Structure 1
Amino acid sequence: MPSAEPPSEPSAEGGVPVHAPVTVEFLSDWRDAAYNCFSSGHKFCREVCPVMQVTRNESWTPTAFHANVVAMEQGELTVEDVAEDYVNCTQCGACELRCPNTLFTGDFYRFRTRTVDLVKRMRALAVDNGVHQPGYRRWNRLTDERSHEPVLGDVPVGQERVRDWAEGLDLPVGGETVLFVDCEAAFHRTSVPRAVAQILRRAGVDFGLMREQWCCGGPAAEMGYREQSRRFAEHNLADWRASGVRRVLVLDPHDYITFTEDYPAYFGADFDIEIVLVVELLAELIGNGRLTPTVPVERTITYHDPCRLNKRKGVWEEPRRILRAIPGLTFHDVDRVTQWSYCSGAGGGLPVEKPELTARISESRVAKAAELDVDTLVSACPWSERPLAEAGEAVSIDVVDLHELLAVSLGIEVGGSTDR
């Protein structure tokens, strides 16, 4: 990260804030979207917001995020006044789907509410104006130093250890297809990538690992550190090109969002790498008979939809196909399986700056699972599994990764650790 910081917003003249040029450009880009939200005066988006559900703070709602832009344009507020409010968002995307502008006018007016993008841009605007959140700043400084996220806690993180999770698996480096393992799974939940690698090998899928894998850069972009995100993306793409990579397998929903949305935005038509979500690939391999789970898993479960798969990418059928293929499971599904699924609170940098708020959201999510009389909550997102598991201890609900559960049913000894 650059050591020099841009100046913050100029002082007010005559009681009216004078915005820096970067803020003026931001307001020009976002005023129409802000007025589209602000003028509707509805509360639909607020009630599906995971932060609003546990705090009831009107300043931390999607409507308020847009209203702030209106107030800034009218000279009532500056970025310093509002920057901290935008910490309170998991970027789950539920508000976008619930917005009447998207539901009722999107097809006709070609308008889609983009609250997630607004939050990312406002956080970036704050950084560009020298307004930093302490947790975000520390997290991105450490990520820049180590090329990987510090993954919350004392787990050793560094480039020399990024492939430690694969010890004993004899995986090659390079090739046309590589498996990208997110920071949380590579350094903390190593049992997850070990399960994925062994399942893929069982199905006859050829793949290798990157020569020098860095963090995907997505978390930096989510917290507003766009320049750092772009540098990390450039490094990873250069590594793929140098190894002749044509296809990247991704097990983490956060990486999947980054590779399918941020990277194409950075590189345009030059980004011609195929991105494959492992959950979708595994469902296909089960469907065509290349994987057949046979070992019964005697658990009563429900499934936690990762927001970045379900709400933002529409991926909710494939995980359920996998679960229904595993013998022994008693699966209590819920009707909130599309856009209204519950959030874990673990996204958008929220656990970095406000871990206590993430914990409250995870507790609320696990409480909903407990109402179904299950003993296990299954997830397909390594980042959600840590806070969900901590919340699950209070109500005797295990949190198990979907990839690991499938590996057990295939008779695979996973190994690795979750440091829990």
Structure 2
Amino acid sequence: MPHLGQIEQAFVERWHENATGCFSSGHKFCREVCPVTQVTRNENHTPTAFHANVIGLEKGHLSVEDVADDYVHCTQCGGCEVRCPNTLMVGDFYRARTETVKVVRAMRAMLVDKGLDREKWKVWNRLTDELKNEPVLGVEGEQPNGQAQVRDWAAGLDIPIGGDTIMFVDCEAAYYRTSVPRATAQILRKAGVEFGLMNEQWCCGGPAAEMGYVEQSMRFARHNVDDWRRSGVKRIIAIEPHDYVHFTEDYPAYFGDEFDFEVVQIIDLVAELIRDGRLELVKPIERVATYHDPCRLNKRKGIHEAPREILRAIPGLEFRDVDRVTQWSYCSGGGGGLPIEKPEITAEISRRRLEKASELDVDLLVSACVWSERPLTAAGDEAGIEVRDIIELVAESAGIEVGGRTRA
């Protein structure tokens, strides 16, 4: 019978109640909204298994080594939490829920502490630690990115450093899909929103935390908060959903009352600018489109009305939506470190998402998350459907020439 060490004992004690609530209910409604389970059909990869394993560890039926690889199979989309009756019966299912995502993250942190972390995650986070940004352009050979190029996306835009409000640009957007931050910056400028950039922007630290590298995540968060303090920053515009989650959940958990910054999600802000008449969309976009809800906006943070408001404001665009519950089951597979360690599963999740979009007879799939857009774009090429970021569409309709790289 496996013996629980100090680390395992602390983990079991922390998550016993949560796991018992899930394990004892036995409903398993969460399974079919889990994008990974939809693909692998493996019982070990289900949200219920993640909780049952805690009980198995507590009872001595399992060791951490036995279940280590199970917890790689999670995008941390939160679909299982939204679907869980234990969550729904509480009432406000966007704030009080069965915390499967936290259980997965805690298990991954324990794997790191015990030296059982996955090899590709080790490489990714080692390079992130060295570069101070994620190696989104590749992990092999000489790194073409780094702090010297962190603001290259903004060439020719003359954006100041510091100020009351800054725009935080995710690693994927800053180095890979540079058209998104360029479009965002020009939209904000056209609407009269004053903002600057950081003195020295590091990765938000969120991906490290999602993969279990909590100490690294906290160091990166500390650097960014100190940078904001030096510049007198009071408000952060997060242009990427993963960053928004980390700034509104992880950073307050790390720093408590010290974290007194206002965090604004770009989709909410752009919807407000259009609504108030500060940003006019005048150029028609004659396309038939549907919207892919990024998991961290819809399922994790409840932001689902604002992007639809934006799409309906674009002249010429025919928008074909899906029902509210169906949105919960959709995912790109691009989160939680899954595309780093299990890229084939991410690819299949995105392929299935484009298959569903095809059923609506659209020629455009719109998202609001650069991390989802890379795998979705690859799947869209096969399906004959273009994938674009909602901010890129807004810029086009506002008559803005964006520039930058729209895709690989």
Class of the TM-score when normalised by the shorter of the 2 chains: over 0.9
Hey, what does 1:287 align to over in structure 2? 275
Hey, what does 2:173 align to over in structure 1? 185
Hey, what does 2:231 align to over in structure 1? 243
Hey, what does 1:65 align to over in structure 2? 50
Hey, what does 1:147 align to over in structure 2? 132
Q: Secondary structure at the match of 1:178?
A: strand
Q: Secondary structure at the match of 1:340?
A: helix
Residues 379-418 of structure 1 correspond to what in structure 2 (within 5 A)?
A: 379-418=367-406
Moved more, 410-419 or 151-160: 151-160
Q: 1:341 to 1:297 in 2, by over 3 A?
A: farther
Say whether residues 1:29 and 2:17 are aligned partners. no
Residues 161-176 of structure 1 correspond to what in structure 2 (within 5 A)?
A: 161-176=149-164
State the Cα distance separating 1:301 from its structure 2 match.
0.2
State the Cα distance separating 1:335 from its structure 2 match.
0.7
Contact persistence 1:307–1:341 (CA under 8 A) = no
Moved more, 389-398 or 149-158: 149-158
In 2, Cα distance between equivalents of 1:106 and 1:71: 30
Alignment length, in residue pairs? 404
Contact persistence 2:150–2:174 (CA under 8 A) = yes
Contact persistence 2:32–2:329 (CA under 8 A) = no
Q: Secondary structure at the match of 1:383?
A: helix
Say whether residues 1:47 and 2:32 are aligned partners. yes
Q: Secondary structure at the match of 1:248?
A: strand
**Residue deviations 1:16-50, cap 9 Å, x none?**
21222111111101111111111111221001000
In 1, Cα distance between equivalents of 2:324 and 2:305: 12
Unaligned runs of 5+ in 1: 1-15
Q: Secondary structure at the match of 2:163?
A: coil
Q: 1:105 to 1:240 in 2, by over 3 A?
A: closer
Aligned residue type for 1:324: R
In 2, Cα distance between equivalents of 1:391 and 1:320: 23
**Residue deviations 1:297-356, cap 9 Å, x none?**
011000000000000100000001111111010111111368625111000000010011
Hey, what does 2:346 align to over in structure 1? 358
Q: Secondary structure at the match of 1:333?
A: coil
- TM score, norm. by length of structure 1: 0.94
Task: Choose the corresponding residue for 1:135, options 120, 123, 127.
Answer: 120
Hey, what does 2:193 align to over in structure 1? 205
**Residue deviations 1:38-82, cap 9 Å, x none?**
111122100100001111111100000001000000011111111
Hey, what does 1:345 align to over in structure 2? 333
**Residue deviations 1:227-250, cap 9 Å, x none?**
000000000000000000000101
Task: Choose the corresponding residue for 1:75, options 60, 63, 69.
Answer: 60
Moved more, 368-377 or 33-42: 33-42
Q: Secondary structure at the match of 2:88?
A: helix
Aligned residue type for 2:6: P
Unaligned runs of 5+ in 2: none
Hey, what does 2:101 align to over in structure 1? 116
Contact persistence 2:35–2:329 (CA under 8 A) = no
Task: Choose the corresponding residue for 2:318, options 330, 350, 364.
Answer: 330
Q: Secondary structure at the match of 1:179?
A: strand
Contact persistence 1:216–1:258 (CA under 8 A) = yes
Hey, what does 1:316 align to over in structure 2? 304
In 2, Cα distance between equivalents of 1:26 and 1:378: 40
Hey, what does 1:3 align to over in structure 2? none
Hey, what does 1:19 align to over in structure 2? 4
Hey, what does 2:144 align to over in structure 1? 156
Contact persistence 1:152–1:352 (CA under 8 A) = no
State the Cα distance separating 1:418 from its structure 2 match.
3.3
In 2, Cα distance between equivalents of 1:343 and 1:127: 26
Query: How many percent of aligned residue pairs carry the same amino acid?
Result: 67
Contact persistence 2:137–2:176 (CA under 8 A) = no
In 2, Cα distance between equivalents of 1:168 and 1:111: 45
Hey, what does 1:89 align to over in structure 2? 74
In 1, Cα distance between equivalents of 2:35 and 2:84: 15
Contact persistence 1:220–1:228 (CA under 8 A) = yes
In 2, Cα distance between equivalents of 1:172 and 1:313: 30
- TM score, norm. by length of structure 2: 0.97
Q: Secondary structure at the match of 2:308?
A: helix
Contact persistence 1:326–1:409 (CA under 8 A) = yes
In 1, Cα distance between equivalents of 2:145 and 2:349: 27
Q: 1:287 to 1:111 in 2, by over 3 A?
A: closer
Aligned residue type for 2:125: N
State the Cα distance separating 1:100 from its structure 2 match.
1.4
In 1, Cα distance between equivalents of 2:116 and 2:137: 23
State the Cα distance separating 1:106 from its structure 2 match.
5.7
Task: Choose the corresponding residue for 1:257, options 221, 245, 248.
Answer: 245
Q: Secondary structure at the match of 1:313?
A: coil
Q: Secondary structure at the match of 1:302?
A: strand
Q: 1:169 to 1:105 in 2, by over 3 A?
A: closer
